[in-house]
Structure 1
Amino acid sequence: MTMKRIFAAIFAALSVFSFAACSNKNDGPQPGTLKEGETLQSVLEAVDGKFAEKYGTDYSAVMMGMPIDDTYLSDFLALDSSTYDEYAGSVSMSMTNSDAFFVVKAKEGQLETVQQALDKRLSDIKAQYEFYPVNGSYDRAMAGEVYTKGNYVFLIVVGVMDDTAEETPDFSDDVQMTKETIDSFFNN
C-alpha cells in the first residue's frame, strides 16, 4: 500500500508540473511577425520614404512601379493562393529597369515554396538583364536579395543610380537600407 501511495504522489506531482508547463504560454509578440498596428503597406511606404529621404522626393524603391497582383504571382512566380496569405509591392513597368520590391506572406507550411519562387524570380531577373545592362539594371539585379522574416519573404532589387556613379555601380547600400527598414517593422 505504501508503494501505491508513493507512485500516486509521484504521478500527481508530474501531472501538476505537466499542466503548469503547458499553460505557461508566451503572450508576447512572436519573432518574425509584424509589430502591432503595422501592415505590409506600411513597410513598403517606409522603404519608399527612406529612398526619398536619401535621394530626393522624386525617388522611391521602385522606379515607375506597377503593383503586383494575383496574375503576377501566378505568371512570374508560379504561386497560387494556396501558398500565400497576402502580398504587397511593385515591379518596374520599364523594360530597361530591373527594380522589384515586394513581399509575399507564406501560408503555414509553404515558406520554402515561396522562398524558392522568389529565388527563381531573382535568378530570372539577373539572366534577363545580363545582356541588356542599361542604367545599372544588371548591377542592381546582382545586388538583389531574397530576404525572409518569419513567414514573410521579400524580393529586394532596388537602387538608385547616382549621376556620378562609377562604371560599375554598387547598390548594396540601398539593399542594406531596405533590409534595415524592414527589420524595424518586425518583432525580434
Structure 2
Amino acid sequence: MKKKLACMLLMGALALSMTACGGKDNNGAASDNQQSTMESTAAGQETGETGSTTAAQNPKDAAKALQSAKKAVTDALGDNYWPDSEIPGEMLNETYGVSAELYDAYLGEAPMISVNVDTLLIIHAKDGKVEEVENALNAYRDSLVNDTMQYPMNLGKIQASRVERIGDYVCFVQLGADTSSVEEQGDEAVITYCQEQNELALEAIRQTLE
C-alpha cells in the first residue's frame, strides 16, 4: 500500500514538472515574437516605410525643393530676375484662385512696384489636385491676357507668360525684366524676348525638380 502511494506521488510530481517546463517554453517563444515585432516596427519608422512618417516629410521636402528651384532661376537670370516681394497665401487664393486646400507648399514672388508684372510662382499640389491648380493658374493668365487695359505697357510680357506642370508642381512664369532694348522692334520682339527669359527659368526649374 505504501509502495503504491509512493508511486502515485512520484508520477504526480513528474507530471507537474513536465507542465512547468512546457509553460516556460511557450512564454519564451511569445517573448521572442514580441521582440521581433517591435524591431520590425522600429526599423520601419527609421527608414520611413510607414505611410504617416513619409506623408509628414513631404511638405518639408517640397519646401526645400522650392527654395532650390528659386535659386536655380535667380542664378540663370541674374539681374533680369525682378520679383522681390513674397506673394502671401491670401493673395494666392484671392488673385490667382489657388486655395490652401489645393497645395501643401508654394513659392511666389512678384515686384513690390505694381506697374511691373514679373512673377514667379511654383506650387506643389496635393495628391490629385495638380489639374485643379493648373486650371486655376491658366484662368488667371487668361484674365490678364484679356484685360489689356490694365497693364498696356506690359502686354508683350503678359502674352509671353506660361503655365507649366512639372510632376506634382505647377509653375506660372511671367518674366522678362527690362524690355526697353527690344521695344523699338515691336510687340513680337518683346514677346519673343520674354519667352526666352521664361524658358530659361523653366529649364532651371525642371533641372531642379525633375
TM score, norm. by length of structure 1? 0.68
Distance in 2 separating the partners of 1:61 and 1:94: 10
Q: Which residue of 2 aligns with 1:180?
A: 203
Q: Which residue of 2 aligns with 1:6?
A: none
Cα RMSD, aligned residues only: 2.3
- 1:107-129 Cα distance to aligned partner (Å, 9 max, x none): 00111110011111111222344
User: More deviation in 120-129 or 169-178?
Assistant: 120-129
Q: Is the 8 A contact 1:77 1:117 kept in 2?
A: yes
CA distance change for structure 1 residues 76 and 38 in 2, over 3 Å: closer, same or farther?
same
Q: Which residue of 1 aligns with 2:166?
A: 149
| Higher helix residue share | 2
Distance in 2 separating the partners of 1:46 and 1:152: 15
Paired amino acid for 2:163: V
Q: Which has the higher contact order (CA 8 A, sep 6+)?
A: 1
Q: Is the 8 A contact 2:137 2:172 kept in 1?
A: yes
Q: Which residue of 1 aligns with 2:93?
A: 74
- 1:67-98 Cα distance to aligned partner (Å, 9 max, x none): 11210121112332221010002122323222
Distance in 1 separating the partners of 2:96 and 2:160: 20
- Structure 1 or 2, whichever has the larger Rg, is 2
- Alignment counterpart, residue 126 of structure 1, candidates 145, 153, 156: 145
- Alignment counterpart, residue 48 of structure 1, candidates 74, 79, 100: 74
CA distance change for structure 1 residues 121 and 36 in 2, over 3 Å: closer, same or farther?
closer
Unaligned runs of 5+ in 1: 1-34
Unaligned runs of 5+ in 2: 1-60
Q: Is the 8 A contact 1:126 1:142 kept in 2?
A: yes
Q: Which runs of 4+ in 1 moved over 4 A?
A: 35-38
TM score, norm. by length of structure 2? 0.62
- 1:132-160 Cα distance to aligned partner (Å, 9 max, x none): 422xx110110110011111000011113
- Aligned residue pair count: 144
Aligned-partner SS, 1:108 = coil
Q: Which residue of 2 aligns with 1:9?
A: none
